[in-house]
Structure 1
Amino acid sequence: MKVPIFRASVPKSHPLLIHSLSSALPLTDEASKKKRLLSCCASSELNPVRPELTFCVGTHLIPHPNKVEKGGEDAFFVSSYNGGIIAVADGVSGWAEQDVDPSLFPKELMANVSCLLGDEEQGNNNPQILIGKAHAATSSTGSATVIVAMLERNGILKIANVGDCGLKVIREGKINFSTSPQEHYFDCPYQLSSESVSQTYLDAMVSSIELMEGDTIVTGSDGLFDNVFDHEIVSALAGYRDVAEAAKALANLASNHSLDSNFDSPYSMEARSRGFEAPLWKKILGMKLTGGKPDDITVIVGQVVSL
């Protein structure tokens, strides 16, 4: 369970951001549709010298087994704006102990990311600035980890992340790039919060990478990366051409691992490396700390294509 850094009062009710559980839809170039939750390919005129790039996107979300009724505490947003926008926010579940719904903050945060797109004069084409403005506009109580990735049509992918939502670039069957998680200590990541003293957009890890046509982008909450190894991600993607099917397959793989007490997951390996041990009865039997981490699982798979 992710823990919040600070305590606060119960939030006022707020309309939820609606996200699809699985999709791969055509994206349009119309600026008026930038606020819609869509996924896949934008259309534009070709550049005869250097093709402009965009994403084809597939998404899939599997809530924590105990949070299925409310759809979990992750939220995501994808858009065709410019070359394409991918964003994920993961609500910090520890707020439930304060009678706060952890899903409200990330959903409002993603809604604000959607609303702020397109105002380039205000720096909203910069993912770090966009995170800051979306955070400032979020009134719900709670906190969340977040990642925003913005593709320029020249192929430059700009990324800002706070906490342990992540992004990987797969090129020619290998992991070419990975973001790095930020944490205070094990299972307590950096997080944006409703509290006045917390991480801000200034604490975001900022990076950029030049993409090529044919690259695959995998973005997700830690429910994916805590339960699936890099080599499994690469192997799973190799079996699918359709991005929606690929996202669903990765999410299902993460879900299966998360519920397997015998699977030696990335999460359990990290826990052991930090000094955590198996319960005494397991130690007596010579068993080590293993198992996946049940969690909300959000997966977004983007294929880089030319316009």
Structure 2
Amino acid sequence: MAIPMLRAAMISHSQSQQLIHSLSAINETAKRRKTVVFSSSFSELNPLIRSEVSFCVGTCLIPHPKKVNTGGEDAFFVSNYNGGVIAVADGVSGWAEEDVDPSLFPRELLANASNFIEDEEQVNYDPQILIRKAHAATSSTGSATVIVAMLEKNGTLRIANVGDCGLKLIRNGHVVFSTSPQEHYFDCPFQLSSERAGQTYLDAAVCNVELMEGDTIVMGSDGLFDNVFDHEIVQTIVKYKDVAETAKSLANLASSHALDSNFDSPYSLEARSRGFKPPLWKKILGMKLTGGKLDDITVIVGQVVSS
């Protein structure tokens, strides 16, 4: 993630069994937990009559083209504990300007998170507390955005998010829930950091979402959501039955769009809406600001199945 890193009160321009994977590895503090409930037939979600649920998960990570040899700076983990736990962290590449490996912080952060998942006394299956414990235990220098989602067997998905990694819920061919990115300004999201100036678990956007069998969750770093529209995510989910194939296809689609300078991506649309202008040569040719955003791309697809 090529964004400014937060340091010392100023902005400087610059993870079946638990599986840790790092192939490489609102603007206001959320103070209350929200429960998101949808209108469709929730008699089916009565915990007294429905079966327990869990995630069937597929993953894919594609590093930035210039970071293939090092594996990029995204990290993720997947665990089958309880109904399932999934998480993504996106390292801030600006640290490379200070000879710091930006991948170390997100990898250690999620490795620590995976170690604390089963600590019922300290964590109590709460993603916000998990972020707090993992952050406190991380000694690497760096920064990262992070999202953690923990599925209870009764169907409640508990989410905590700091920054612009995201999660979408697809039900019956429609995106019915999306997390919202947190940012200081365009392209500078909230981030956990080794420095005092960064955000903490208290800044996480926290919510609960009630899931049902057949739902699909798509979680990813901003490399996915900056380059792929919601309707493309839905089309891909409908096309593939296997979650691993779905994740791979979404990551490949995001990579293709990121490399296309003429693709009018979610990122370029947002940039134009914020008043950003195209480079001079495009202006001269009468062209608008377009193109995908080159970045590490992490995709986790979780299908809700009966346990």
Distance 1:55 1:92 in 2: 29
AA partner of residue 143 (structure 1)? S
Which residue of the partner structure matches residue 163 of structure 1?
163
Which residue of the partner structure matches residue 193 of structure 1?
193
- Mapping of residues 24-43 of structure 1, within 5 Å: 27=16, 33=17, 35-37=18-20
AA partner of residue 185 (structure 1)? Y
- Mapping of residues 125-204 of structure 1, within 5 Å: 125-204=125-204
TM-score (norm 2): 0.88
Distance 2:194 2:162 in 1: 14
Distance 1:302 1:81 in 2: 14
Cα-to-partner distance string for 1:236-286 (whole Å, 9 max, x where unaligned): 111000000000000000000000000000001111111110111111111
Cα-to-partner distance string for 1:11-62 (whole Å, 9 max, x where unaligned): xxxxxxxx6xxxxxxx2xxxxx4x4448xxxxxxxx9932000000000000
Which residue of the partner structure matches residue 305 of structure 1?
305
CA RMSD of aligned residues (A): 1.5
User: How far has the Cα of 1:235 moved from its partner?
Assistant: 0.7
Distance 2:263 2:170 in 1: 24
User: How far has the Cα of 1:197 moved from its partner?
Assistant: 2.6
SS in 2 for 1:254: helix
Which residue of the partner structure matches residue 5 of structure 1?
6
Distance 2:154 2:293 in 1: 38
Which residue of the partner structure matches residue 205 of structure 2?
205
Structure 2 gaps of 5+ residues are 10-14, 22-46
User: How far has the Cα of 1:7 moved from its partner?
Assistant: 6.6
Which residue of the partner structure matches residue 30 of structure 1?
none
SS in 2 for 1:120: coil
Which residue of the partner structure matches residue 238 of structure 1?
238
SS in 2 for 1:257: helix
Cα-to-partner distance string for 1:95-142 (whole Å, 9 max, x where unaligned): 111111100000000100111111111134100000011000000000
Distance 1:260 1:104 in 2: 30
- Give the conservation status (yes or no) of the 8 Å contact 2:8–2:196: no
User: How far has the Cα of 1:5 moved from its partner?
Assistant: 1.2
Which residue of the partner structure matches residue 42 of structure 1?
none
SS in 1 for 2:88: strand
Distance 1:65 1:167 in 2: 24
Which residue of the partner structure matches residue 87 of structure 1?
87
Structure 1 gaps of 5+ residues are 9-18, 20-26, 28-32, 39-46
Distance 1:274 1:49 in 2: 48
User: How far has the Cα of 1:213 moved from its partner?
Assistant: 0.1
Task: Give the % identical residues.
Answer: 75
Distance 1:204 1:244 in 2: 29
- Give the conservation status (yes or no) of the 8 Å contact 1:116–1:124: no
Which residue of the partner structure matches residue 49 of structure 2?
49
Which residue of the partner structure matches residue 98 of structure 2?
98
AA partner of residue 89 (structure 1)? A
- Give the conservation status (yes or no) of the 8 Å contact 1:57–1:303: yes
